[in-house]
Chains A and B, each alone.
Chain A
């Protein structure tokens, strides 16, 4: 018995050191997210790997793949993929209607892009949204840029979504950065102390290497957790305002006015 206790104590002491991946001697929790899908040729293969590796993930899908909702026969395969995501315990978030950089557009267009897909996706979406390029979620010291960022972020909020960015951008889509993807991701997990990791399920490179990347993260001693471990709001249901019209429309009109006022002030100063 004594021997058992001693061995157990030693193993408890030993394991964290032997697995510690980071310079600070710690391991961290991560959550993998996938943007820009679904793509019928690739997303199911991502789901296969996640299932086999028992990794929960979040998919930020583009609304344009669900144009017209289930009534449109062309959306059948995209909905089948969403059904599978849901069945296998993944979260589904909005990546807006299409992949525009929102701060470059009018408040009305921003609102339309954020609201349009929600009725088609209401049975699937968690109240989480990721803006393409993170557009609007960054702080800018330029007042005109910041006014546009505020307009975008307020529209997201008024639509009932929590914006989910990322802590670690793997740049998995970028041929220029491929050679350094894995070591950079592992370094950034330590640097950021874990967090939300960004991938794209529409890239063949990602599909082909995902298992290898997951295994490398596990080998370092890091663990995978659900999105709600990082974003508690992800657990909530999609609020009615995500599919509503009147309240958000009024809000957006106000925001358009706010941006105009800021731009006017800047003009006067110039």
Chain B
């Protein structure tokens, strides 16, 4: 069996791992791979909208994927590859405080979106990714005014993630073999994705 390496990218999260279960995200090897990222598109006078961009590092081409309209103004905070051609997108409105992160799955074959869950955690930087759940190390201020860390687990309703591990946000750079990718702009409001393969380099926008 061919050793397939997944190279996924989040608005700030990047993950790289061996992952034969999710061929969709594929094949980052010496011949290239696929990179997903959440990037903001500003249109003059309007609130910026977020899109996923999918870059083929072999061909250095990209596709723009619109988010569902009810989350199109949110920021993509993390992306998780999952079984059955799914990509799990975690989004949050990072303007002002109080918004709870939402999880949606995107079926990369059928191009279908589905809302999975909402996390009862506003402020966080660390995530523990398990096969069917994500646990937030949630930073909260209690009634006494002390800051405490509470663990908050969110079940992803039967979706199986393929890259368990611990993540500290934001992550904006990934590098695997000859491929490098970097999100450019402010954290979670990234505007561009720079991808380099060997000596070739290209900047992608939605």
Q: How large is the interface on A (under 10, 10 to 19, 20 to 34, 35 or more residues)?
A: 20 to 34
Complex contact B12–A176 (CB within 8 A): yes
Residue of B nearest to A142 (CB): B69
Determine if B17 is an interface residue (Cβ-Cβ < 8 Å).
Answer: no
Asked if B97 contacts A174 (CB within 8 A), the reply is yes
Q: By the criterion CB–CB under 8 Å, are A175 and B139 in contact?
A: yes
A-B contact count (CB 8 A): 79
| Contact size range, B | 20 to 34
A-facing residues in B136-171 (Cβ within 8 Å): 139, 141, 143-147, 169-170
Q: Does B123 contact A (CB under 8 A)?
A: yes
Q: Identify the stretch in A68-76, A200-208, A235-243, A251-259 within 8 Å (CB) of chain B at 4 or more residues.
A: A200-208
B99 at the interface (CB under 8 A from A): yes
Q: Taking the complex as formed, is B109 at the interface, i.e. its CB lies under 8 A from any CB of chain A?
A: no
Partner of A41, one of B96, B145, B186: B145
Determine if B145 and A176 form an interchain contact, defined as CB atoms under 8 angstroms apart. no
Residue A120 is within 8 A (CB to CB) of chain B in the complex: no
In the complex, A175 Cα to B94 Cα: how many Å?
A: 11
| Known contacts A141-B46, A171-B94, A204-B145; A176 and B188 CB within 8 A of each other | yes
A175 touches B43 (CB 8 A): no
Min distance, Cβ B146 to any Cβ of chain A, angstroms: 7
| Contact partners of B170 in chain A: CB under 8 A | 176-177
Cβ of A139 and Cβ of B46 under 8 Å apart?
yes
Distance between B76 CB and nearest chain A CB, rounded to angstroms: 12
> What's the minimum C-beta distance from A113 to chain B, rounded to whole angstroms?
14
The binding surface of chain B is classed by DSSP as: loop
Known: A134-B96, A139-B45, A169-B96. A176 touches B125 (CB 8 A): yes
Contact of B94 among A174, A202, A203 (CB under 8 A): A174
* A176 engages B169 (CB within 8 Å): yes
Q: Interface code A39-53, partner B: CB below 8 Å = 1, 0 otherwise?
A: 101100100000000
Q: Mark B129-140, 1 if CB is under 8 A from A, else 0.
A: 000000000010
Please, which residues of chain B bring their CB within 8 A of the CB of A139?
A: 45-47
Query: If the complex has contacts A141-B46, A176-B12, are A204 and B96 also in contact, measured as CB distance less than 8 A?
Result: no
What's the nearest-Cβ distance from chain A to residue B171, in Å? 10
CB of B1 closer than 8 Å to a CB of A: no
Please state if A204 and B94 are interface contacts (CB–CB under 8 Å): no
Chain A residues 165 to 204 lying within 8 A of chain B, measured CB to CB, are 169, 171, 173-178, 180, 184, 198, 200, 202-204
0/1 string, A143-181, CB within 8 A of B gives 1: 001000000000000000000000001010111111010
B147 touches A99 (CB 8 A): no
B65 within 8 A of A: no
CB-CB under 8 A from B45, the residues of chain A are: 139
Tell me which residues across on chain B come within 8 A of A42, comparing CB atoms.
141, 145
Partner of B97, one of A36, A39, A101, A142: A36
CA distance A142 to B72 in the complex (A): 11
How far, in Å, is B117 (CB) from chain A's closest CB? 18
Does any Cβ of A come within 8 Å of B77's Cβ?
A: yes
B125 close to A133 (CB less than 8 A): no
Chain B, Cβ-Cβ closest to A207 = B145
Interchain CA distance A200-B95 in the complex, whole Å: 12
Contacts of A202 in B (CB 8 A): 141
User: Which A residues form the contact surface with B (CB < 8 A)?
Assistant: 35-36, 39, 41-42, 45, 99, 101, 132-134, 138-142, 145, 169, 171, 173-178, 180, 184, 198, 200, 202-205, 207
The 4 A-B pairs of least Cβ separation, nearest first, read A41-B145, A173-B97, A138-B47, A175-B125
Besides A39-B145, A41-B144, A139-B45, 10 more A-B contacts (Cβ < 8 Å) are: A36-B98, A132-B98, A138-B73, A139-B46, A142-B69, A175-B139, A176-B94, A176-B124, A198-B96, A202-B141
